[in-house]
Amino acid sequence: MAVNSVKKDENTALADKTKTILRLAKYLLNYKGTIFIVLLVIAVATAITLVNPLIMEYAVNVCIVNKDYEAIYRVVIIALILNLVLFGAVKARMYLMAKISNKILVTVRDELYTHLQKLGLKFYDSLPAGKILSRVIEDVNSLKGVLQDLVVTLLPQFITLSAVLVIMFIKNPILAAATLVSTPLLIAGLLYIKIKCSELWHTHSKKSSNLSGVIHEDISGMRIIQGFAAESETESAFDTAEKEHWESFRDAVKIGDLFNSIIEFTTMLSTVCMYYVAVKVLGITSASVGTLIAFATYAGMIWHPISQLGNLYTNLVRNVARANRIFEVIDTEPEVFDREGATELPEISGQVEFKNVSFSYDDKKGVLDNVSFTVKPGETIALVGPTGAGKSTIANLISRFYDIKQGQILIDGHDLTSVTVESLRKQMGVMTQDNFLFTGTIAENIRYGKLDATQEEIEAAAKAVNAHEFIMKLEKGYETELQERGAGLSVGQRQLLAFARTMVSMPKILILDEATSSIDTQNEILVQKGIAQLLKGRTSFVIAHRLSTIKNADRIFVVDHGRIVEAGSHNELMEKKGEYYNLCMAQAV
Amino acid sequence: MKKLIKYVLKHRFTYIFAILCLFIGTIADNIRPQLIKDIVDEVIEGGKPDLLPRLLISIAAIGLLRTFTQYFKEFLFDITGVKVGNEVRFDLFKHIQKLSLNYFDKANTGELLARLKNDIDSLAFGGVGFIIMLAIEILLHTGIVIYCMFGLSPKLAIFPLCVLPFGVALAIVLEKKLDTVYDNLSEENAEMNTVAQEDIAGVRTVKAFSRENYELEKFRRHNKKYYELSMKLSKVLVRYEPLFDLITRILPIGAILIGGRMVISGDISLGTLTAFVAYCDMLVWPMECIGWVSNEIASAFASYKKIKKVANEVPMIEAPADPVVLPEVKGSVEFDNVTFTLDNKDILKDISFSLPAGKTLGIMGATGSGKTSILTLLFRFYDANKGTVKLDGVDVKDLSLTQLRQSIAQVSQDVFLFSDTISENVRFGKHEGVSDEVVRKCLEMAQATEFVDNLSEKEETVIGERGVGLSGGQKQRISIARALAKNAPILVLDDSTSALDTETELEIQGVLNSLTDTTKIIIGHRISAVRKADEIIVLKDGAIAERGTHEELLALRGLYYETYCAQYGEVA
């Protein structure tokens, strides 16, 4: 998947609609029993709706014409009872459907979210957060209507339509034929809309997603926007996104709104035909006026199901595009997952081995080129080298954020792909350059590393990384609520908290990817002392640029252009007078 | 943000035209039963077949007219609704951009996103678009139908007049009930949004701790709460909506009961009764829709309330009413006894320094000692509580905010890049004015060309949000190039080379030193970053603990010296 920016449309395919609808229908099948009841209730309701005009016809043609008061009362009471039953049926239908559709919504959202948790970083790297978010919230919500329609509209309206047609033909075939003369026109018109609209709504849903992406990114980057006084620039980008959003909507409704007009037009044709035929051909007289009126009511009833079915179709087209976006995510194969037969990684001692590992993020540009090394348990390894040389990649691979295509990575002799991801990462502590803190208290954030950590453990970890002091200076200490991403704390303080979070998990293998870059030197020394204490005998990988951090490592790997060009202790490498020596000399200036 | 009515009035002609179409269409619709009554009464019962063609032509004409009016009213309301929504969105966005950073420090991205996206969408549909059209149509249609019923038989029309107010009362009750449920629902929606958005943005952390299941549980709780609230909403609808349906069913039955007696007693004709029943049928759809319409309107106005709440936030930093605009910013910066407190915490205490144009200030100090806060005040993201911050001798509070911020180029600690091409990122903030050559040159100065050229599409490569896919050092270099491209008189580097390797850092420092006209403020933890500065200040707990040049500070044998020793070992 290529990286998608907020300004660009996503590459979602205009997938097979029938497939998507069937897939949605599958969710409904889980509620077979309830749906059966709903359909039964609808059948009762439909029957009553269909009988209503017959009752009216009887009341006019028989009771009123015969001046029979009692018959009128009887008819009215029957009608009232029937309609109260109808009232109950409508209630039952609404309640049951609300329950089913809301439940399915929860299920789909749950499935989507569960899958999102399984997806690897490659997926998250390729799609802006706002766009992923819009799938979880908006797209899922929009399914509600479709699900209800599928049950309440599709089958029942189809049956109503057929029933009305049958009644009409039984009552008077000639009149029925006259009324239906305009249907081919209707079908042609609806087909036209159907074909035109599906693509247009698809485009609109992409533009809508772009708009979400722009909003999300601008809000996240507000500090930069204001700092660059770039408000007018982001405004114009926002304006463009909005304009495209509106234009795509306009294009879609331009065609979509023809729908009611087409119905209006065909209704008109059929009304004219019906009365013309009734008077001129059939010569209807006053005796059968009741029949004509009932017939007209039925004729009116054709358009309702047709327009409902048409609306259902428009809604389907609109929302199937959204459903597709959800299913597309659910169908994305996680690139890192537990292989069949993957076993729990037993408690490890911390040996790490790379065997001829080559790696590329995008299958084009190689990042690591045939890297091999073995790290003994308890060793501290420093990775140094120019930015972009592949240091972070090595770190990412050890914790299996990405899977390799060539070579093998072994931990305590276990191939990474043969063990479960969770059992692996539970024993790893990774601190990246990106230290994300969650909204919640400081204690909660530290506890993230070990969910059952006691207050003592939390404080011990914070003390070890020298974060305790500044935490205690805050008004509420460990119970201070953090804002999003830890806003309000300095970058260095955030790094210390993230550090404490990693420490509390007591990992067997620790990976520090420039974990101390924003911490001042005094603190850094204290932090290092603290973790050295905690991590005695644990394997660690440290990526850093400061010499002071690197020097104490057992071995130093110098990485350049995806290969390890030098390895050895500080003294060994200094004697060698190679790359590392040059690096040290540069810093000492 | 203006009042909603102002946005609507801007499109008054479109709305008026659309409502006109709606009027014509609705009136035409109500003439139809009259024509049908004539066919029954005059042509069939009265035996006047010559009237038929005229009546049928009239029906056809009405149908044709409505074919057009229906389309226009729907299309216009649809597009204008979304347009007005987008205009509100744009102004809200502009307003949000003006809010001060203290607001963003506290507000949630997920929540703001919900306001700008979902709530405005709901307002566009239910508050100023399609649903309002339906509401007008329902009112008008019902009014005309009742008027026509009166025309047919005033006595018979009393019946629907007695029943319909129940419908209206129901709609009002429903709207009220829904309002509270929607408040809760949209609150929960924002909360769920926040959880999801944190998990997506913090995915690296979630994965590193293998906390997928933990996050899933957290999300599930919200998902469940959302379900419960949705069901609560549905229950309100289930209680009220079928009642509307019932009313419409009772109308024709009552008409037959009362009307039947009147026909028998000769008060009205059979044709009148059938027409009356037909009018009753015409009330079915408005009554069916009224529940849905109240529902959507309630949701739209619940959203509007939330939008207004954001719109009413006042920016803490107010741009001066009559700002000083300097003809040319030279770049001298002065802090005069500046004290800054935030949430009852002293952040900076009595800071003074004077940095002449073209000189360099180095700032060092422990984590959380207030280094970045100095920049925050210079940018006027916050205002100092005491003392003044001056640019070229003018208090920043009197300066035009735009000019002030345009005069300072910053490389921040926490690099934020936009999901766009590298060159667009470098150009950021000075979009039009930066040529491809300048972009290239800035990337070169920031030592970024080597890795950029290695990317598949070079400068035109799209990088992910926040620069995902790039290493920390690469992001920092693009951020440095972006600041250089701004070509501002003051350059501020906030610990901005921390992720760079030593060689690259040295090269970049060389480049920066060559910018002799630019005033520079450098915050760093490494001695190497600040040693060449004209003055270095060392902060401790928000106050200046030591100040001087590199040599002076070494001689002082204080905090600076300690740091030096820690980084380089004991040197004379």
pLDDT tens digits for B529-571? 888 888 898 888 888 888 888 888 888 888 888 888 877 765 5
* DSSP reduced 3-state for B432: coil
- CB-nearest partner of A226 from B79, B243, B405: B405
In angstroms, the Cα distances linking A126 to A131, A395, B15, B455, B468 are 11, 20, 43, 16, 8
Q: How far apart are CA B57 and CA A172, in angstroms?
A: 24
The Cα B236–Cα B184 span in angstroms is: 14
| Number of domains comprising chain A | 2
Interface of B with A in 526-555 (CB under 8 A): 526, 528
- The answer on A207 and A173 residing in a single domain is yes
Of B109, B249, B495, the CB nearest to A86: B249
pLDDT of A12 reads 60
pLDDT at B467: 65
Helix axes A455-464, A491-504, angle to 10 degrees: 130
CB B110 within 8 A of CB A136: no
Alpha carbon distance A420, B213 (integer Å): 14
- Domain assignment present for residue A338? The answer is no
| Residue B265: strand, helix, or coil | coil
Put simply, the answer to whether B264 touches A586 (Cβ < 8 Å) is no
Task: Tell whether B208 lies on the interface with A, counting CB pairs under 8 A.
Answer: yes
Contact B86 A242 (CB under 8 A): yes
Asked if residues B491 and B519 have their Cβ atoms less than 8 Å apart, the reply is yes
Q: Does the residue A580 lie in any domain?
A: yes
B325 touches chain A (CB under 8 A): no
Q: What is the chain B residue with the closest CA to A274?
A: B56
Option in A125, A495, A588 nearest B468 (CB): A125
B452 Cβ neighbours under 8 A, 6+ residues apart: B422, B443, B458, B459, B461
Q: Distance (Å, rounded) from C-alpha B560 to C-alpha B102? A: 32
Q: Which residue has the tokens 């479709």?
A: A146
Query: For A170-222, how does the pLDDT look when each residue is reduced to its tens digit (9 = 90+)?
Result: 888 888 888 888 888 888 888 888 778 878 888 888 888 888 888 888 888 78
B462 and A4 within 8 Å at the Cβ level: the answer is yes
Kindly report the pTM of this predicted structure.
0.80
Residue A537 has pLDDT above 60, yes or no: yes
Determine contact: B252 vs chain A, CB below 8 A: yes
Distance from CA of B164 to the nearest CA of A (A): 17
Predicted confidence (pLDDT) at residue B37 exceeds the cutoff of 80 = no
The answer to whether B357 touches B330, Cβ cutoff 8 Å, is yes
CB contact, 8 Å: B357 with chain A? no
Long-range residue pairs from B376-381, CB within 8 A, at least 24 positions apart, any chain: B376/B101, B377/B335, B377/B338, B377/B340, B377/B348, B378/B333, B378/B408, B378/B492, B378/B521, B379/A226, B379/A227, B379/B404, B379/B405, B379/B408, B379/B410, B380/B317, B380/B404, B380/B405, B381/A223, B381/A226, B381/A227, B381/B100, B381/B101, B381/B317
Q: Test B200 with A286 for CB contact under 8 angstroms.
A: no
Tokens of B276: 């009356």
Q: Are residues A97 and A210 in the same domain?
A: yes
Smallest CA–CA distance from B484 into chain A, residue: A228
Per-residue pLDDT tens over the stretch B250-299: 888 888 888 888 888 888 888 788 778 878 888 888 887 887 888 888 88
B415-487 in CATH: which number?
3.40.50.300
Contacts (Cβ under 8 Å, ≥6 apart) of B432 = none
Interchain pair B416, A221: CB under 8 A: yes
Q: Does one domain contain both A317 and A210?
A: yes
Distance from CA of B89 to the nearest CA of A (A): 9
Q: In chain B, whose CA is at the least distance from the CA of A58?
A: B256
Distance CA B478, CA A62 (A): 88
- Residue A275 forms contact with B (CB below 8 Å): yes
A370-375: long-range contacts, CB 8 A cutoff, minimum separation 24 = A370/A407, A370/A563, A371/A407, A371/A562, A371/A563, A371/A564, A372/A407, A373/A557, A373/A564, A373/A567, A375/A350, A375/A351, A375/A539, A375/A541, A375/A555
Q: What is the mean pLDDT of chain A?
A: 82
pLDDT bucket at B71, cuts 50 / 70 / 90: very high
A14: distance to nearest CA of chain B, Å? 24
Residue type, B349: K
pLDDT tens figures, A83-93: 899 999 989 98
Look at A80 and B250 and tell me if their CB atoms are within 8 Å.
Answer: yes
Is residue A346 in some structural domain?
no
Q: Is the dihedral of CA B408, A487, A219, B297 positive or negative?
A: negative
Among candidate residues A298, A331, A364, the one where a domain is terminated: A331
Which chain A residues are Cβ-neighbours of B94 within 8 angstroms?
Answer: 231, 235
What is the mean pLDDT of the segment spanning B13-29? 91
Mean pLDDT, residues B149-163 taken together:
86
Q: Is A561 left (phi over 0), alpha (psi -120 to 50) or beta?
A: left
Nearest residue in chain B measured CA to CA from A420:
B210
Hunting for tokens 């009762």 — which residue is that?
A44
| pLDDT band (50, 70, 90) for residue B477 | confident
Identify the sign of the CA torsion B292, B297, B302, B304.
Answer: positive
Contact: A130, B93; criterion CB under 8 Å? no
Contacts of A336 (CB under 8 A, 6+ apart): A120, A400, A401, A402, A403, A421
A interface test, pick of B24, B76, B256 with most A CB neighbours within 10 Å: B256
More confident residue, A291 or A358: A358
Which range is most confident: A123-132, A360-369, A479-488, B328-337?
Answer: B328-337
Nearest CA-CA partner of B128 in B311, B228, B3: B3
Q: Are A112 and A136 within 8 A, CB to CB? A: yes
Question: Do A237 and A366 sit in the same domain of this protein?
Answer: no
- Average of per-residue pLDDT across A389-403: 85
What Rg, from alpha-carbon coordinates, does chain B have?
35
Q: A431 and A323, same structural domain?
A: no
Nearest Cα residue to A330 out of A61, A570, A136, A158 = A136
The pLDDT value given to residue A1: 41
**Per-residue pLDDT at B20 exceeds 90:** yes
Average pLDDT over residues B162-166: 84
Same domain assignment for residues A430 and A382: yes
Question: Rounded to a whole number, what is the distance in Å from the CA of B353 to chain A's nearest CA?
Answer: 22
Kindly write down the DSSP assignment for every residue of B146-187, as one continuous string.
Answer: HHHHHHH-HHHHHHHHHHHHHHHHHHHHHHHHHHHHHHHHHH
Q: Among all chains, which residue has been given the structure tokens 């920049």?
A: B375
Query: CB-hemisphere CA count at 13 Å for A525?
Result: 12
Query: What's the distance, CA A219 to chain centroid?
Result: 20
What is the separation of C-alpha B48 from the centre of its chain, rounded to a whole number of angstroms? Answer: 65
pLDDT at B319: 78
Interface test with B, best of A48, A215, A424 (most B CBs within 10 A): A215
Which CATH number is A567's domain given? 3.40.50.300
Query: Domain check: are A321 and A374 in the same one?
Result: no
- Considering only CB atoms, which chain B residues are within 8 Å of A221? 416, 418
Given CB atoms, is A85 within the 8 Å cutoff of chain B? no
Q: Please report, for chain B, the start and end positions of each structural domain, with discontinuous segments joined by +.
A: 4-311, 415-487
Mutation target to probe the A interface, by most A beta carbons within 10 A, among B26, B55, B68, B97 is B97
Residue B266 near chain A (CB below 8 Å): no
**B467 reaches A (C-beta below 8 A):** no
* Contact map slice: B 123-182 vs A, CB within 8 A: none
Interface check B51 vs A, CB under 8 A: no
Given its phi and psi angles, is residue B548 left (phi above 0), alpha (psi -120 to 50 degrees) or beta?
Answer: left
Q: Which of residues 21-80 of A touch B (CB under 8 A)?
A: 52, 56, 59-60, 63-65, 67, 69, 72-73, 75-76, 79-80
**pLDDT-derived band at A588, boundaries 50, 70, 90:** low
Pick B52's closest partner by Cβ from A279, A422, A589.
A279
- pLDDT on residue A387: 72
- Range with lowest mean pLDDT among B1-5, B53-57, B335-339: B1-5
Average pLDDT over residues B457-467: 75
* Per-residue pLDDT tens digits for B401-428: 888 888 888 888 777 888 778 888 888 8
Q: What percent of chain B is helix, strand and coil (3-state, nearest 5)?
A: 65, 10, 25
Is the model's pLDDT at A224 over the cut of 70?
yes
Residue with tokens 């700002």: B323
Residue-level pLDDT at B572? 42
For residue A424, being part of any structural domain is answered with yes
* Cβ neighbourhood burial of A146 (10 Å; 0-12, 13-18, 19+): buried
Q: What is the pLDDT of residues A477-491, one digit of tens each?
A: 888 888 777 777 777
Same domain, A466 and A520: yes
Q: Of A265, A297, A331, which residue constitutes the final position of a domain? A: A331
Cα A429 to Cα A96, A294, A432, A512, B134: the distances in Å are: 49, 78, 10, 8, 59
CA angle B490, B411, B491 (to 5 degrees): 10
**B66 pLDDT more than 60:** yes
Return the pLDDT at A84. Answer: 92
A6 touching B, CB under 8 A?
A: yes
CB-based contact A86 B503, cutoff 8 Å: no
d(CA A318, CA A320): 6
* B294 has a chain A CB within 8 A of its CB: no
Residue A519 placed within a domain = yes
Cβ B124 vs Cβ B82: under 8 Å: yes
Q: Which residues of A touch B458 (CB under 8 A)?
A: none
Pairing of strands B535-540, B360-365: parallel
- Assess whether A496 and A536 both reside in one domain: yes
Task: Express each pLDDT in A453-466 by its tens digit.
Answer: 889 989 988 888 88
Q: Is the pLDDT of residue A250 over 90?
A: yes
Q: B68 pLDDT exceeds 90?
A: yes
% of chain A exceeding 70 in pLDDT = 94
Residues of A whose CB is below 8 A from B505:
545
Neighbours of A270 (CB within 10 A): 23
From CA A198, how far away is CA A203, in angstroms rounded?
9
B82–A279: do the CB atoms touch at under 8 Å?
A: no
Give how far B340 is from chain A: nearest CA, Å.
14
**CB-CB under 8 Å, B237 with A546:** no
CATH code of the domain in which A251 resides? 1.20.1560.10
Let me know whether A312 and A358 are in one domain.
no
d(CA A138, CA A322): 9
Contact B264 A64 (CB under 8 A): yes
Q: Is A129 on the interface with B (CB under 8 A)?
A: yes
Which residues are CB-neighbours of A154 under 8 A, at least 6 positions away? Answer: A309, A312
- Do A422 and A284 lie in one domain? The reply is no
Chain A neighbours among B 66-85 (CB < 8 Å)? Answer: 66-68, 70-71, 74-75, 78-79, 82-83
Residues A313 and A447 in one domain: no
Q: Domain of residue A539: give its range.
A: 352-588
Q: Is A99 on the interface with B (CB under 8 A)?
A: yes
CB of B459 closer than 8 Å to CB of B482: no
Q: Which fold has domain B4-311?
A: ABC transporter transmembrane region fold (1.20.1560)
Q: Which of A331, A364, A396 is the last residue of a domain?
A: A331
